[in-house]
A and B are shown apart, each in its own frame.
Chain A
Amino acid sequence: MSISTEAARPPEPPGPLTWVRRNLFNSLFNSLLTILMVFVIFYTVRGVIYWIVNVADWRPVVNFPFLYLVGQYPRDQLWRIGLSTSLIAILFGLSWGTWGGLIRTFAVSLGAFFAVVALLPVQSNELTIPVRGALLANVLLIFLGFRLGRLQAVKGSFTAIAWLLAIEVITLILLPGLSLRETLTLLIGSALVFIIVYIIYQAIRVGGINSTLRILILIAVILLAAEIALASFPNLANTPLLQKVATTSWGGLLVTFFLAAGGIVLSFPIGVVLALGRRSSLPVVKVFCTTFIEVVRGVPLVTILFMFSVILQLFMPPEARIDRLLRALMGMTFFSAAYTAENVRGGLQAVSQGQVEAAKSVGLNSVQIMSLIVLPQALRAVIPAIVGQFIALFKDTTLVIIVGINELLGIGKSIINSDPEFIQLQAEVFIFIAMVFWISSYILSYASRQLETTLGVGER
């Protein structure tokens, strides 16, 4: 009996012809289908190319770069937005260097975005050489941040604190002009909040006071001293630092990203709390959370937005006036939180009871069990669902048009309405906006897939 050595060899990789036969012409029906589709694709592509080259007129898109980016934000105050973006750019670079992984996708996309806007091959009296230079500098800042983040001395906690500070600073730069005293008060207040949060965090992790907390307390003390010192210079203390910019003039991508980022950052903790509340043993909390989640999930987002923009003020004390943009953000946040809560609840149910029992038996208290044992596992399991919810939230920012806020799509519409000539060019504007959303959502879902592989979701 002879044993064939041939059989042991792996099969040859299929050549291109074999591939075509297997994947396009493997049956009569599929062959016909392929031929039909080749024709359809050919004519579609030809039509699209013809339209882009001969018909499309991109004036309403390329002539107003600043409108699309920041809306009606006063043009002489644009440096404030520029400064904020630079801060964000360097921080993204820093985080990329420190944490790597997922952040890289965002940092690189951000850099690509700046580069594309800076090198846009159009004549525009808005995109001047200095503006383009500033945009390109942001790309450099991302890289600089990256190199900085790779240094041994830079730790994760440093980057985290830098982020918190940057959020503070950006708020102070973008928001209406507060006086020096108000600025300091705000800073001290938030420093105190950070310290309290940090102490609670440390208490849970059973750790002592470490260097981070010392830095935070030091900052708070310095700020407090500065404010006390300021009391003797009332003139200086009460001058507004920056000119007030009402949020009604905000628009475009600025609002889209503000609502998306704000909604994501705020809705996540609220969603987790709601999910815990729904599983709580306290009946009042449970009923309240369940009702909230089910009602919000049962109605369209437009009704929620409308409630916050019109109805809310009827249920508030008359002196409470909340900014229009903030009301929209609240609506988006609560809406998204209800969906996040349901996702998180799914994750909580997936954590086996044995984990809790094991944690109890080694003597952890219930807060520790929840924050160290149950939640990390629950959240890990539902990352894809939560990111999907974030993408939905990002896309849903377009709905704020209904309460009169001009985010990207709203700006597009108002540009069309600004010139009778543009009525014929609506397709160009909306296709451009669709592409912006498509690319951004695609980056988000790409990052989500990366995160899943890093964390090994679905491997257990």
Chain B
Amino acid sequence: MTSKGPLSIFTRRREIPLWRDERVLQAIAQVISAFVVIGFIIWIIINFFEAARGRGLNLGFGFLQEPAEFPISDPILPFDPSRSFGYAFLVGVVKTLLVAGIGVVLATVLGIIVGLARLSTNWLLNKIALAYIEIHRNIPLLVLLFLWYFPVFNSLPPVKDSIVWPGPTYLSERGLYLTWPRLEPGSGILVISIIFAIVLALIAFILLRRRRVATGQQTYHVVISLAILLILPTAGWFLSGGSPIRMDTPVLEGFNFTGGMRLTPEFAALLVGLVTYTAAFIAEVVRAGIQSVHVGQVEAAKSVGLSSFQVTSLVIFPQALRVIIPPLISQYLNLTKNSSLALLIGYQDLFGVAKIAINQAGRAVQVFFMVMATYLTMSLITSLVLNIYNRRIQLVER
């Protein structure tokens, strides 16, 4: 019934009382909430400046140029205590990124293996993967890191009685010494040829597959791009004089090893702990992703005559990836954030460097905000990538 109806002369239009008018209530709520929130922030800032004045804190960022005056164990960049604090912070960031970068790659590989094992028709393999996942998901990461560090990597025998693994790899209290390929002079050609091969193979793969999809002709895109990947580096190998890469083997000389690639016990424990822990979560992500592809899809693909490789690569995988990628990236972010536990097993990363500075007078708040800003930047970049990806796959969606 509208007010303009024939009965409107009998029903006087009643004003809605102020306290029940939704617009008025909304406006009041806006004002009150603004007062409360802004008041709270101002209260905090006032407190802070009073505390800073009372303690004589210097709130500038000048200390970034001052000497750091603390050592960093196993700095990856050249570092000594006389270098500036800003540089020390940078070293910390690089160490965090290094652990995160290597950890993400290894955790993905291990996670996919465990995830696929979890889907295996082999009962025993399936249950082993399940046990692996359940063990790692129900124990705190810090306990796992302690287990890897204190009884394992920190209790290795002295250099003389090193454990030797094939490779050769030496495990001793000084850390892990790995045999590592090193580039010899003249290897530039090889490196260039490898990069060139990858780019060319990618271009060939994309172009040929596009033609295949568009016209239906057999273009042998897989074979051709694999051939490029194989032939070009081989050519580069011979062009650069026959031996562009030397395997750098660690050798025991006196009381220590020379040569090879050294991983400190702290780094090794952190890496192994982070990778095995995150892999359990990635395995679940992979399993859920693959199981999210409807059985009907597989049956339909089989019934139109695709081979089982084609079913996997053309039907299951593209659809599973859509489900897998977003949680996978958030697992990468988790790994990066979890690497801040490094401090507790003696690997000085971003947070470890910052903690020393926080305990030095007058730098706490600034350093603290620098740490927050660094981690936030990482997570913002990640969510940006994720959003772009999500938008792209949504366009592809049926």
Residue pair B124, A38 in contact (C-beta under 8 Å):
yes
Q: B54 at interface (Cβ–Cβ under 8 A)?
A: yes
CA distance A281 to B29 in the complex (A): 10
Q: In the complex, what residues of B have CB within 8 A of residue A399's CB?
A: 142, 341
Residue pair A430, B143 in contact (C-beta under 8 Å):
yes
Please give the distance in Å from B163's CB to the nearest CB on chain A: 16
Please give the distance in Å from B197's CB to the nearest CB on chain A: 32
Q: A229 at interface (Cβ–Cβ under 8 A)?
A: no
Q: Which of A38, A284, A302 contacts B37 (CB 8 A)?
A: A284
Residue pair B37, A288 in contact (C-beta under 8 Å):
yes
Q: Which of B135, B140, B364 contacts A395 (CB 8 A)?
A: B140
CA distance A442 to B133 in the complex (A): 12
Residue pair A442, B337 in contact (C-beta under 8 Å):
no
Within 366-424 of A, Cβ neighbours of B (below 8 Å) are at: 391, 395-399, 401-402, 409, 413, 416, 424
Proximity string of chain A (434-451) to chain B, C-beta cutoff 8 Å, 1 when within and 0 when not: 100110011001000000
Q: B338 at interface (Cβ–Cβ under 8 A)?
A: yes
Q: Which of A8-16, A84-92, A126-134, A314-322 contacts B (4 or more CB under 8 A)?
A: A314-322
For chain A, the bracket of interface size reads: 35 or more
Residue pair B341, A303 in contact (C-beta under 8 Å):
no
CA distance A317 to B51 in the complex (A): 8
Q: In the complex, what residues of A have CB within 8 A of residue B140's CB?
A: 395-398, 409, 437
Q: B141 at interface (Cβ–Cβ under 8 A)?
A: yes
Residue pair B125, A37 in contact (C-beta under 8 Å):
yes
Q: B206 at interface (Cβ–Cβ under 8 A)?
A: no
Residue pair B358, A310 in contact (C-beta under 8 Å):
yes
Q: B48 at interface (Cβ–Cβ under 8 A)?
A: yes
Q: In the complex, what residues of A have CB within 8 A of residue B125's CB?
A: 30, 33-34, 37
Q: In the complex, what residues of A have CB within 8 A of residue B147's CB?
A: 427, 430-431, 434
Within 138-160 of B, Cβ neighbours of A (below 8 Å) are at: 138-144, 146-147, 150-151, 155
- A426-B151, A442-B138 known; A302 and B375 CB under 8 Å? no
- A23-B121, A315-B48, A442-B138 known; A285 and B379 CB under 8 Å? no
Residue pair A303, B371 in contact (C-beta under 8 Å):
yes
Which label, helix, strand, loop or mixed, suits the secondary structure of the B interface? helix
Q: B322 at interface (Cβ–Cβ under 8 A)?
A: no
Residue pair A438, B138 in contact (C-beta under 8 Å):
yes
Q: Which of A26, A288, A298 contacts B375 (CB 8 A)?
A: A298
CA distance A313 to B52 in the complex (A): 11
Residue pair B121, A441 in contact (C-beta under 8 Å):
no
Q: Which of A301, A318, A396, A442 contacts B134 (CB 8 A)?
A: A442
Please give the distance in Å from B200's CB to the nearest CB on chain A: 34
CA distance A288 to B337 in the complex (A): 23
Q: Which of B44, B121, B344 contacts A315 (CB 8 A)?
A: B44
Q: A101 at interface (Cβ–Cβ under 8 A)?
A: no
CA distance A399 to B343 in the complex (A): 11
CA distance A318 to B46 in the complex (A): 12
Q: Which of A313, A402, A430 contacts B343 (CB 8 A)?
A: A402
- A37-B125, A281-B26, A299-B375 known; A437 and B337 CB under 8 Å? no
- A282-B29, A399-B142, A442-B138 known; A30 and B122 CB under 8 Å? yes
- A26-B121, A281-B26 known; A303 and B375 CB under 8 Å? yes
Residue pair B340, A300 in contact (C-beta under 8 Å):
yes
CA distance A303 to B379 in the complex (A): 14
With both beta carbons as reference points, the residue of chain B lying nearest to A311 in the complex is identified as B368
Q: In the complex, what residues of B have CB within 8 A of residue A41's CB?
A: 124, 128
Residue pair A409, B44 in contact (C-beta under 8 Å):
no
Q: A306 at interface (Cβ–Cβ under 8 A)?
A: yes
Residue pair A306, B26 in contact (C-beta under 8 Å):
no
Q: In the complex, what residues of B have CB within 8 A of residue A413's CB?
A: 146
Q: Please, how many residues of chain B have a CB less than 8 angstroms from a CB on the other chain?
A: 55
Residue pair A297, B379 in contact (C-beta under 8 Å):
yes
Residue pair A401, B368 in contact (C-beta under 8 Å):
no
Q: In the complex, what residues of A have CB within 8 A of residue B123's CB?
A: 23-24
Q: In the complex, what residues of B have CB within 8 A of residue A395's CB?
A: 138-141
- A303-B371, A395-B141, A434-B147 known; A401 and B48 CB under 8 Å? no
With both beta carbons as reference points, the residue of chain B lying nearest to A438 in the complex is identified as B138
Q: B230 at interface (Cβ–Cβ under 8 A)?
A: no
- A311-B365, A442-B134 known; A299 and B122 CB under 8 Å? no
Q: In the complex, what residues of B have CB within 8 A of residue A318's CB?
A: 50-51, 54
- A300-B340, A445-B138 known; A24 and B143 CB under 8 Å? no
CA distance A198 to B48 in the complex (A): 38
Q: A241 at interface (Cβ–Cβ under 8 A)?
A: no
CA distance A353 to B5 in the complex (A): 31
Q: Which of A295, A317, A416, A445 contacts B47 (CB 8 A)?
A: A317
Q: B314 at interface (Cβ–Cβ under 8 A)?
A: no
With both beta carbons as reference points, the residue of chain A lying nearest to B20 in the complex is identified as A365
CA distance A409 to B144 in the complex (A): 11
- A297-B379, A311-B364 known; A433 and B33 CB under 8 Å? no
- A282-B33, A315-B47, A395-B141 known; A430 and B146 CB under 8 Å? yes
Residue pair B37, A402 in contact (C-beta under 8 Å):
no
Residue pair A285, B33 in contact (C-beta under 8 Å):
yes
Q: Which of A26, A313, A409 contacts B143 (CB 8 A)?
A: A409
- A318-B51, A409-B143 known; A302 and B351 CB under 8 Å? yes
Q: Which residues of A contact B (CB under 8 A)?
A: 23-24, 26, 30, 33-34, 37-38, 41, 281-285, 288, 295, 297-303, 306-307, 310-311, 313-318, 391, 395-399, 401-402, 409, 413, 416, 424, 426-427, 430-431, 433-434, 437-438, 441-442, 445
Interface CB pairs A-B, < 8 A, 9: A295-B372, A300-B351, A303-B340, A303-B371, A318-B50, A395-B141, A396-B140, A398-B140, A427-B147
Q: Knowing that A37-B125, A284-B34, A298-B378 are A-B contacts, what are 15 other residue pairs whose CB atoms are under 8 Å apart, sorted by A's residue number? A: A24-B122, A24-B123, A38-B124, A300-B338, A300-B341, A302-B341, A313-B51, A315-B44, A316-B47, A398-B140, A399-B341, A401-B344, A402-B343, A409-B140, A438-B138
Q: Which residues of B contact A (CB under 8 A)?
A: 26, 29-30, 33-34, 37-38, 44, 47-48, 50-52, 54, 120-125, 128, 134-135, 137-144, 146-147, 150-151, 155, 337-338, 340-341, 343-344, 351, 355, 358, 364-365, 368, 371-372, 375-376, 378-380
When A and B form their complex, which 8 residue pairs have the shortest distance between CB atoms, in order from nearest?
A427-B151, A298-B379, A23-B123, A441-B138, A395-B140, A300-B337, A300-B340, A398-B142
